[in-house]
Structure 1
């Protein structure tokens, strides 16, 4: 009986030790959560409601905007324009630095035309897919440019523009950030022609003023003001002959004279891929157009970024000193992780139950509690996530190649600091400073921030192990059991 007890104790010890070593090995690995992406995307109606697709899960993550967060500004069988609500509606504390920026996403079906219009907002466009033509009209000039995947276009406020998808098979997809002029976070779109759901701005004038201004009979004014019903939307089908006319004088960005000092230089498109990627290896590439390099972006202080990650790769942890990124997922899914010092739930409660009484003004006070909120979220195609300045974050590509694009706000004097990888900031600490800071021994201090040889992107499988404590031998186990 005593022998049986000793054998039982020995087996339990072996299992316990093996399990503890599995846990130790697990601690040094990045786990990729397996999941199946949604099989059916939501179908939204003109009002922006869901028409029977998958539901966005309830979440307290203020940095993640799912597909159902978008509102349909326009939708028809020719395409759509979707817009996120003002970021400060989600959190006035977290996003007050981008209160005057709005994110939009547009898709035009093949062989379609978006009618001329202007905004009381500056805009930066990034072409995600397809090819087409963008045209500009002012009182002094008219220009058209061919645009394709990766092209960036700066459009000043008040400049009339129109788009044409010249592709026969592929939709033209464009992401856009807008910076309003009149009211923070609010802008309007102005059309010279009427459409099914939009009036012409000429309808804001009396008929006698319009007739005298244009020197045409009043009976022709109905074509402008929309006195008759117009069934077409702002996106319309066009024939190949019409596309040929629209593109006849279009030029490519590379054909523009670099020394041209004309105002058209402001809206001259350029490709984000014209310069080498900032970070590039077998696991990913990161392109960025910075306002210091591209004059079109300087006055808005906006950068444009494009990240392409292979399946199972990791965008190493880093933070941006001044830039807040509004990032849009163009392909695939990834796990987004970020360290945030802000407590979103506490802010909601404070908004519902203000502590200040009548006649008292609310006094904002940031508490430095030292606590860190672990933000973990799965982000997939068509969704948006926000990376505020100073927040360390990382991305893990999961189901397939992952593509995300971003608009960086306050980009000119910002620096990007990596916390892991070959050129990470913490590797420059003296060994004694590392030991004192993290409470580790000399050997571990030497390897803690110098074991990753990749820069920017890395695989999610660890290739080198830290020195481990010697595993107990079977002899020591049996001795412990009393054999």
Structure 2
């Protein structure tokens, strides 16, 4: 018994000694110095027989193993905290989140796909992607296709789009606000027909069918040469000669001639030559004409803003059969949208003009004050906020209340692609037709623990969806806020 007591005392003394020499282990990946010290202490005890030494050394191993596990767990927690600090706002995408896929002096293509790489919170939209096309005046984007369905929205400028069917090409003019659906695999080219202004297009990419793999925004260019490369140049010379029934010299003349890049300036005569002509097909062509979002009456409109919507039920919109809605919000300077949320749809939004702010309530972000080792006793919400400017993209998952606020200098204009739009509703928490005012009186009084009339005084107002924004404190008059 005395031996066992001495054995425990030895281990205890080792722990004290280990604290003094632990700093020697910093930066070393060899055997832990504490383990060496512990086992040396076991070996030096003259009163120990071989069995006591074996037990002592096993306890040393067990102690070091548990210590390493604790250290590993601590490092893992620190890594998670660091990731959260580095990415406090996983719902907002800035310039550095976009990849420049094509970059020439006459235009560029920026892409943003694989949303879940930004955060696991976005895994419900991991199958989608967004591209922004910028084409300078009188420039041409060479024929190419994608293996995904694309919905183009003409943000600004005047363009021409050419879509290739099996044996012919259809051309359409594009105006600001036009929506154009491009089926997966359809070769297309784009022209900026304006002599001064850039052409800006947002292209939302989605899988061609349910169950398809996530989109990969790699274009397949049919034309061009080796610089830039055409998909045709990938094949062997023998295959190309047999398929195109041409000699090697003839192929090199055709496939290697173009060296201007993916996007390049063309002559004004060429632009005019690419202008759409009246279709000779008696029942129209295989592609639907562009649908302009401004041809619809606004879903909501007042002097503080307007909201235009085009959904899958809209005839001739090109969105028929797709579980997608396209919206455009124009919030008057110094105004705000109501606090609201989508019941079903996940909103992928791109700021196209103006400046402002985003605020959103999210239950998924951990509270900095909470102990990660303790289970939460109640739900807490995190305020997601960001400054908005042209080019910034943000995501609002279904069910998450949010608000957009325009600066006092300029209107804030945001185009949104809303995925899973069928049976979606926009529910407001403030303004006319808000869900709090719609609560029955009994539930309202129980939930707020005050008279229902007091609740209604706060939540009810005559404006719907868009309000003036005044962040100064309201002046109190006779116990009520002056609005």
Q: Is the 8 A contact 1:180 1:187 kept in 2?
A: no
Larger RCO (alpha carbons 8 Å, 6+ apart): 1
- Return closer, same or farther for 1:91/1:72 CA change in 2, 3 Å cut-off: same
Q: Which of 159, 181, 187 does residue 154 from structure 1 map onto? A: 181
Structure 1 partner of 2:293: 272
- Return closer, same or farther for 1:168/1:367 CA change in 2, 3 Å cut-off: farther
- Return closer, same or farther for 1:236/1:250 CA change in 2, 3 Å cut-off: farther
- How far apart are residue 370 of structure 1 and its match? 1.3
Q: Which of 238, 242, 258 does residue 270 from structure 2 map onto? A: 242
CA distance in 1, matches of 2:248, 2:367: 59
Structure 1 partner of 2:414: 404
Q: Is the 8 A contact 2:173 2:276 kept in 1?
A: no
Structure 2 partner of 1:394: 403
The alignment status of 1:117 with 2:140, answered yes or no, reads no
Instruction: Output one character per residue of 1:79-128: Cα deviation in whole Å (capped at 9) or x when no partner.
Output: 11001241100112x21111110111111000011111111111000001
CA distance in 2, matches of 1:77, 1:281: 42
Structure 2 partner of 1:214: 244
Instruction: Output one character per residue of 1:121-149: Cα deviation in whole Å (capped at 9) or x when no partner.
Output: 11000001010110111223321001110
- The number of equivalent residue pairs is 388
- How far apart are residue 191 of structure 1 and its match? 1.1
Q: Is the 8 A contact 1:194 1:200 kept in 2?
A: yes
Structure 2 partner of 1:72: 100
Structure 2 partner of 1:417: 427
Structure 2 partner of 1:385: 394
- How far apart are residue 269 of structure 1 and its match? 1.1
- How far apart are residue 433 of structure 1 and its match? 2.0
Instruction: Output one character per residue of 1:260-291: Cα deviation in whole Å (capped at 9) or x when no partner.
Output: 575323xx211011110001010101101111
- How far apart are residue 431 of structure 1 and its match? 2.6
CA distance in 1, matches of 2:168, 2:339: 47
CA distance in 2, matches of 1:404, 1:207: 49
CA distance in 2, matches of 1:408, 1:290: 9
When structure 1 is superposed on structure 2, of 425-434 and 323-332 the one drifting more is: 425-434
- Return closer, same or farther for 1:412/1:261 CA change in 2, 3 Å cut-off: farther
Q: Which of 315, 323, 341 does residue 301 from structure 1 map onto? A: 323
Q: What's the TM-score, normalizing by structure 2?
A: 0.74
Unaligned residue ranges in structure 2 (runs of 5+): 1-84
CA distance in 2, matches of 1:345, 1:225: 59
Unaligned residue ranges in structure 1 (runs of 5+): 1-56, 356-365, 471-483
Structure 2 partner of 1:183: 213
Q: What's the TM-score, normalizing by structure 1?
A: 0.74
Structure 2 partner of 1:173: 200
Q: Is the 8 A contact 1:67 1:382 kept in 2?
A: yes
CA distance in 1, matches of 2:367, 2:438: 37
What's the secondary structure of 2:142's corresponding residue? Answer: strand
- The CA RMSD measured in Å over matched residues stands at 3.0
Structure 2 partner of 1:126: 153
Q: Is the 8 A contact 1:118 1:158 kept in 2?
A: yes
CA distance in 2, matches of 1:215, 1:139: 20
- How far apart are residue 299 of structure 1 and its match? 3.2
What's the secondary structure of 1:61's corresponding residue? Answer: coil
Structure 2 partner of 1:434: 444
CA distance in 2, matches of 1:174, 1:165: 11
Q: Is the 8 A contact 1:105 1:174 kept in 2?
A: yes
Of Structure 1 and Structure 2, the greater helix share is in 2
When structure 1 is superposed on structure 2, of 183-192 and 168-177 the one drifting more is: 183-192
The alignment status of 1:140 with 2:167, answered yes or no, reads yes
- How far apart are residue 345 of structure 1 and its match? 8.5
Structure 2 partner of 1:444: 454
- How far apart are residue 158 of structure 1 and its match? 0.8
